[in-house]
Amino acid sequence: MALDSSTDMSLSRRAMKAELLDAETELKLAYAWRDERDEAALHRLINAYMRLAISMASKFKRYGAPMNDLIQEAGLGLMKAADKFDPDRGVRFSTYAVWWIKASIQDYVMRNWSMVRTGSTSSQKSLFFNMRRVQARLEREAAAAGEALDRHEMHKMIATEIGVPLHDVEMMEGRLSGSDYSLNATQSVDEEGREWIDALEDESAQAAELVEDTHDNAQLREWLLIAMNALNERERFIVRERKLREDARTLESLGDELGLSKERVRQLEAAAFTKMRKSLEAQSREVQHFLV
C-alpha cells in the first residue's frame, strides 16, 4: 500500500528518533529473530535501521520516482536483509543490509523507468545507474585534453570503465536516450489522424489462411479415419489407448488387459503404425496425382 506524503514525513521523523544499536545488542536481536522467530526483536532491528533505508532512498530521487515509494522499497529491502542475515558470520547487520536495500531500490527504479523493461542483469544495472556519470567524466577529461571522442570511442571507454560488454552499452544508450510513446497517439496533429497502432501489421491468421487450415484439418481427419479402419480391432484398440487418450496407457497395462507381454504389445503397436503410414502415404500420392 502506497504511503502518502504525511505518512512519509511521519515515518522519517520516527526513524530519526529510533534507538542506535551497539554491536552486542544488534547481535542479540539477530539471534532472537533467526533462532526463535521473535517478532519483537525483528521489529526493533528494523526500526533501528530504518533511518539507513530512508537515507539510501533519498539518493535515488533524481530518477523521478516518488520519495514515499522509494522509502517503501528500501523498507522491503531492509526486511529481506533481516530475514536472510546470519549473525554467525561476524558481519554487522548494517553492512549486510546496505546491499539488500540498494538492490531493492534499484529494481524498483528500473521497473518503473519505462514501460519497456530496461534490463535486470548486473551489467545492465551497472550501466543504468552509472553510465551517465561515467560519460560526463570522460567528456570533461577529453575536453580538458583538447580531444574529441566520437560515439563509438565513448561507448568503448564506458564499457571498459564499468566493466561491461560493448553491446550492453549501446543498448542502454538507446533506452536512456529515448522515451515511451503511446500506440494510441495519432500520427499527426489532426485529431482525426490515424493512431500508430493502426499501422502495426496484423499477425493473426487471415481469412484465406483460416479456410485453408480448416480444409487441411478436415482432410487430415478423413485420412486418419481411413487409416484407422485399415487396422484390425486389436490394433485400433492399442492405437486409441496409446495415442488418442489424454492420459496414454502403458504397454504393460495394455498387456495385462489383452493377456499379452509388454514386448508383444509394442510389436503390435509398431505394426499398426506401419499400416497407417502406408495408408496415409497412398492417399497423399493419390491427391498429388489428381493435382498434377
Decide which of 68, 92, 113 is a domain's last residue.
113
Q: How far apart are CA 76 and CA 82, in angstroms?
A: 10
Domains contained in the chain, number:
3
Domain CATH for 240? 1.10.10.10
Each residue of 212-250: pLDDT tens digit?
A: 667 667 777 887 888 888 889 999 899 889 888 888 889
Query: Are residues 78 and 43 both part of a single domain?
Result: yes
The 3-class SS string of the chain reads CCCCHHHHHHHHHHHHHCCCCCHHHHHHHHHHHHHHCCHHHHHHHHHHHHHHHHHHHHCCHHHCCCHHHHHHHHHHHHHHHHHHCCHHHCCCHHHHHHHHHHHHHHHHHHHHHCCCCCCCCHHHHHHHHHHHHHHHHHHHHHHHCCCCCCHHHHHHHHHHHHCCCHHHHHHHHHHHHCCCCCCCCECCCCCCCCEHHHHCCCCCCCHHHHHHHHHHHHHHHHHHHHHHHCCCHHHHHHHHHHHHCCCCCCHHHHHHHHCCCHHHHHHHHHHHHHHHHHHHHHHHHHHHHHHC
**pLDDT tens digits for range 166-192:** 888 777 776 666 554 555 555 555 555
- What is the model's pLDDT at position 275? 87
Residues 15 and 109 in one domain: yes
* pLDDT > 70? residue 288: no
Q: Which residue has the cell 528494523?
A: 46
31 has a pLDDT exceeding 90: yes
pLDDT band for 4, please (50, 70, 90 cuts): very low
| pLDDT for res 81 | 92
Q: Specify if 169 maps to a domain.
A: yes
Asked if the structure places residue 200 within a domain, the reply is: no
The predicted-structure confidence for 36-57, as pLDDT tens digits, reads as follows 999 999 999 999 999 999 988 8
99 and 137 fall within a common domain:
no
If asked whether residues 224 and 127 sit together in one domain, one would say: no
- 113, 130, 148 - which closes a domain: 113
> Does residue 107 share a domain with residue 25?
yes
For residue 59, the model assigns a pLDDT of: 85
Q: Which tops the pLDDT comparison, 149 or 235?
A: 235
Q: Say which residue the cell 485420412 belongs to.
A: 223
Distance between CA atoms of residues 275 and 172, nearest Å: 58
Tell me the whole-structure pTM to 2 decimals. 0.45
Domain that holds residue 230: 207-291
- Per-residue pLDDT, 117: 47
CATH of the domain at 71: 1.20.120.1810
**Of 113, 137, 164, which one is at a domain's C-terminal end?**
113
Q: Report whether pLDDT(112) > 90.
A: no
Give the mean model confidence (pLDDT) for residues 66-88: 90
Residue 41 domain flag = yes
Assess if residue 136 is contained within a domain: yes
Q: Lowest-pLDDT range, 8-12, 39-43, 74-78, 183-187?
A: 183-187
- Please indicate, yes or no, if residue 256 is contained in any of the structural domains: yes
Question: Is the same domain home to 109 and 126?
Answer: no
Is 70 among the domain residues? yes
- What nine digits make up the cell of 226? 481411413
Same domain, 143 and 219: no
| pLDDT of the residue at 192 | 59
